[in-house]
Amino acid sequence: MNFPDPSALYTPCRLCARDCRVDRTAGQTGACRSSASLTVARAALHFWEEPPISGTRGSGAIFFSGCSLGCIYCQNRQISRGGDGVAIPVERLAAIMRELAAQGAHNINLVTPTHFVPSILPAIRMARAAGMSLPIVYNTASYEREETVDLLSGSVDIYLPDLKYARAETAKAYSFAEDYPKVARAAIARMVDQVGAPVFDGEGMLQKGVIVRVLLLPGHIAEAKLSVAWLCKTFGDAVYISLMNQYTPPSSAPSVRLPRPLDRTVTRAEYEDLVEYALRLGVKNAFTQDFGTQSESFLPPFDHTGVLPEK
């Protein structure tokens, strides 16, 4: 596969559904608040993903700075909106992938990568040319243009997309993206078409496939059910569904005042209702969470661990 010069896709930038069309190579920034400088906030083993992603040795998570969606309740605000991170060249990103593999990671987990796809693709190619053979996980909020997903064909093995909203009014209120439901569903369908049904190795680790995350927001049980129903009807057992109750109001950002009911966590009754609904639909391929996940202590420190080479 021929990879384009990264700069060609940064100007005018149309990587995500915001379609900003700014010249990021000239330092301009759009919704993601990122120029063309590849910026990473953390690269380390991560143990809090779904079981066939984290396994026993951890997922090799690379957290990119910036985000095109900008949810008002974002827990990673420090890097998604604050811009915290270190600018690195593509060659360093390839080296980080190899270093995580050497640490025993089950896979390379690209977290919020959409706005840096032009730089990520050549890094994957470099890492693989140097012998790195781990599956590549694309961990995204799903506000993707289908054309961007197409660019990933042959490079990404596992998709880990969110399906945050089923209703345009909710998406507009919480992420300023009224078209999110339509965009995300189309992107997820493209991902499933691209990598196909789940494939596991002998240890039960996912090697290929799609896990769709449905984050239950407090007071939005009906909307989460709509997403689960769509996934079940559209894909059946071709995807796994991760039912998440971990929503936590970001107390680390006291200036953020969330509207009700986003100012509280999900109740046990709400989550049990969603799980029972999925069971009634006949969903078999699913992951659920314990209630101990509702804590900011589960967030990794974005302290630039693993980003720069050790001296």
Please report, rounded to a whole number, the percentage of residues in the chain having pLDDT higher than 90: 86
Please check whether residue 249 lies inside any domain of the structure: yes
User: What local confidence, expressed as pLDDT, does residue 295 receive?
Assistant: 54
User: What local confidence, expressed as pLDDT, does residue 8 receive?
Assistant: 87
User: What local confidence, expressed as pLDDT, does residue 310 receive?
Assistant: 80
pLDDT-based confidence at 294, cuts 50/70/90? low
Instruction: Please give the Cα distance from 250 to 49 (Å, whole number).
Output: 20
Please check whether residue 308 lies inside any domain of the structure: no
pLDDT-based confidence at 243, cuts 50/70/90? very high
Q: What is the DSSP letter of 126?
A: H
What is the domain range of residue 254? 15-296
The residue with tokens 């690269």 is 43
| Backbone φ and ψ of 16, nearest 5° | -115, 180
- Sequence-ordered list of residues with C-beta below 8 angstroms from that of 5, at least 6 positions apart, any chain: none
End-to-end CA distance of the chain: 35
Secondary structure class of 216 (helix, strand, coil): coil
pLDDT-based confidence at 257, cuts 50/70/90? confident
Whether 2 shows a pLDDT value over 90: the answer reads no
pLDDT per residue as tens digits for the range 81-102: 767 899 999 999 999 999 999 9
What CATH number does residue 128 fall under? 3.20.20.70
Instruction: Please give the Cα distance from 224 to 36 (Å, whole number).
Output: 35
Which residue would you say has higher pLDDT here, 294 or 130? Answer: 130
User: What local confidence, expressed as pLDDT, does residue 83 receive?
Assistant: 73
Instruction: Please give the Cα distance from 150 to 136 (Å, whole number).
Output: 15
46: which strand partners?
59
User: What local confidence, expressed as pLDDT, does residue 300 receive?
Assistant: 86
For range 15-38, the mean pLDDT: 96
Which tokens is 32 given?
A: 């993601």
Burial classification of residue 102, based on how many CB atoms lie within 10 Å of its CB (0-12 exposed, 13-18 middle, 19 or more buried): exposed
User: What local confidence, expressed as pLDDT, does residue 291 receive?
Assistant: 72
Please check whether residue 5 lies inside any domain of the structure: no
Please check whether residue 304 lies inside any domain of the structure: no
The residue with tokens 């029972």 is 276
For range 3-19, the mean pLDDT: 86
Mean pLDDT of all residues belonging to the chain: 93
Please check whether residue 306 lies inside any domain of the structure: no
- Are 229 and 260 in contact by the 8 Å Cβ rule? The answer is no
Please check whether residue 211 lies inside any domain of the structure: yes
Secondary structure class of 256 (helix, strand, coil): coil
Which tokens is 60 given?
A: 């090799």
Nearest to 94 by CA among 50, 62, 66: 62
Please check whether residue 3 lies inside any domain of the structure: no
Number of structural domains the chain divides into = 1
Residue 287 burial (CB count, 10 A): 16
Nearest to 22 by CA among 10, 33, 32: 10
User: What local confidence, expressed as pLDDT, does residue 1 receive?
Assistant: 41
pLDDT-based confidence at 292, cuts 50/70/90? low
H or E, element range at 8: helix 6-10
User: What local confidence, expressed as pLDDT, does residue 299 receive?
Assistant: 76
pLDDT per residue as tens digits for the range 122-142: 999 999 999 999 999 999 999
CA R_g for the chain:
18
Reported pTM: 0.95
Please check whether residue 7 lies inside any domain of the structure: no
Question: Which whole-number Å values give the CA distances from 21 to 12, 221, 236, in the listed order?
Answer: 4, 36, 37
pLDDT per residue as tens digits for the range 39-51: 999 999 999 999 9
